[in-house]
Structure 1
Amino acid sequence: MSAQTTERPGRGPTAAESQKVLGVLLSEDERPTPSNAFSASITFGWRAMLKIKHIPTQLFDVTIFPIIMTVMFTYIFGGAMGAVVSGTGQTGGVAISEYVQFFIPGIFVQTLIMITMYTGMTLNKDISKGIFDRFRSLPTWRPAQLVGALLGDQVRYALAGVIILGVGFIVGFRPEGGLAGAAAGFVLLLVFSFCLSWVWTTISLLLPTEEAVMGVSMTIMMPLTFASNIFVPTETMPDWLQSVVDHNPVSVVVTAIRELMDGVYDLGSMITVLIYCAVLVAVFAPISMVLYNRKS
């Protein structure tokens, strides 16, 4: 005689039962508030800062590089370049002193915009490790993952800027605009650096490796920084080159920073910089998001 087991067909919980269970587990006043665009961006920005905390060697480029560049150009090239800038042909300590007033705002800009390249390299490394695949599965504002990374890098930019100005004061830089002018120039440069970072974000999403990102970024940045008015005035250059250098975005930013640090608040120069910022974000931020959403 064989025994037969009769199984009742299973059924899932009804809607009322599900609501009752949810009501017990999580009451209305305990439900977490969904993250908005701002809070999500701040959260991912805090993640970028924690990476710096746990891997402090990432700060090497923003601490040592600015000091080396400032001291080298001040004391090795300052005498010769100072003679060119002053137009007197006089070299030595006087020329260096005059050149420092011209040069520090320029190297201030060069250092920060060069550091923005590391944003793309860091992002490319994170994506290659697969961490952003997890981020994209989260119910958050999608651009927050990129915006937060760029906001976190603002700390690195600010640190580099403080070091540059500190070394500049040590070697004799005295901005005529005082602390207010230096602070205004600092803020304007941080805004431009944030917007420029979207360019390297796009490049990091297009290229497969960190080394490729570094190579392309340097190829773009070297002409922009050296074919500018960072080191010498454009009046010392050939006529055909002056117009190109004057319209270089780096030259436009350097001119605005120099004016602010000299206490000259030229609204036209500041608006021009902000227009460049708006164009960079309007062009490269959407491209970055399209590439990011398609990244696998």
Structure 2
Amino acid sequence: MSTAITHTAILTGRSLRGIWRMPVFLVMNLVQPIMWLLLFGQLFKSVVDIPGFGAGGNYLEFLTPGVVMMMALFASAWAGTTYIQDMDRGVMDRFLTSPTNRGALMVSSLLYQGMTTVVQTLMVIGIAWLTGARFHGGVSGLLLLLLAAVLLTAVFGALSNAVALLLRQQQALIGISQLLTLPLMFLSSAIMNTKLSPQWVQNVAAYNPFEWSVIVGRQALSAAPDWASIWWHLGLLAALALVMTWVATRAFRAYQRST
């Protein structure tokens, strides 16, 4: 256990040093979420007047948790590109022929992704607050939002890493990421309340892990949170994150057999 923790810390530090040397990548990943926040927040601010929308009269407050989760989803879906770069440079083979713990290789990647998600989420929340959004969930609500974003990052970061290990091609990873992320985003309440969507969209959204995270974030920041819904959806995210991490760790064996 101590070896796994040590390896995880060392490998996480390796990833963090990379972003420390090139912080521009951290900022670049914020450009699209900020555009969603500012443009969508203005373009669709009148949808709160639609009967049944139920956003409390402020679309920006409704949109912000969705934008946070969109940022986490899209960034984590590309997590496997780091593995592909390591494969192309021969680094991954050296790791796997050394005593490096396989679980540490996966967990360190997810920890790094989770840390960047936290930093970026705080920036998005700050920008939303500066542009007029007010969140009533307090510090506890913000912490729950961060937890949901990190769990969502773990789910799709692990999936991205598994795809990278199995396919070992940048183009394939990009294609699968695009195939998954956009439908998951639109089949959710990130931008529009699903109560106004067709019934089939509501049915699909109920099984959408991206929607689970949006529900947690939006409820956590609200003035009257539905705690049963928050804990239920957090539990689903945590369980799925554990399963996906296990699957992705097992993908190392498939990678070794194919090399």
**Which TM-score applies when normalising by structure 1?**
0.78
Q: Which residue of 2 aligns with 1:217?
A: 177
Which moves more between the two structures, 238-247 or 196-205?
A: 238-247
Query: Paired residue for 1:289?
Result: 252
2:11 maps to 1:48: no
- Equivalent positions of 1:156-167 (< 5 A) are 156-167=116-127
2:156 to 190, 196, 202: 196
What are the ranges of 5 or more consecutive residues in structure 2 without an aligned counterpart?
none
3-state SS in 2 of match to 1:124: helix
Higher mean C-alpha displacement, 271-280 vs 120-129 = 271-280
1:269 corresponds, among 210, 230, 234, to 230
Unmatched segments (≥5 aa) in structure 1:
1-33, 89-94
Q: How far apart are residue 292 of structure 1 and its match? A: 4.0
Answer with 263-272 or 247-256: which moved more: 263-272
Counterpart selection for 1:136 from 89, 92, 96? 96
Determine if contact 2:145/2:220 at 8 Å carries over to the other structure: yes
Specify the SS of the correspondent of 1:143. helix
* Larger Rg belongs to: 1
CA–CA separation in structure 2 for the residues paired with 1:149 and 1:191: 13
**Of 37, 43, 46, the match for 1:76:** 43
* Alpha-carbon shift at residue 135 of structure 1 (Å): 1.3
Match of 2:5 in 1: 38
TM-score w.r.t. the length of structure 2 is 0.88
Q: Which amino acid aligns with 1:271?
A: W
Name which of 58, 63, 69 aligns with 1:109.
Answer: 69
User: The residue matched to 2:97 in structure 1 has which SS?
Assistant: coil
Within 2, Cα distance between the matches of 1:194 and 1:87? 31
From 266, 269, 279, the counterpart of 2:240: 279
* Amino acid of the structure 1 residue aligned with 2:88: S
**Paired AA for residue 257 in structure 2:** R
Aligned equivalents of 2:161, 2:3: Cα separation in 1: 22
39-48 or 168-177, which deviates more: 168-177
Cα drift, residue 65 of structure 1? 2.1
Q: Which structure dedicates a bigger proportion of its chain to helix?
A: 2
* Count of aligned residue pairs for this structure pair: 256
Runs of 4+, deviation exceeding 6 Å: none
Q: Distance in 1 between matches of 2:56 and 2:221?
A: 19
Which of these residues, 21, 26, 30, is aligned with residue 63 of structure 1? 30
The RMSD of aligned alpha carbons is 2.5
Shift of 1:50: 0.9
Q: Report deviation, 1:269.
A: 3.3
Quote the sequence identity (%): 23
The amino acid of 2:131's aligned partner reads V
The residue that corresponds to 1:29 in the other structure is: none
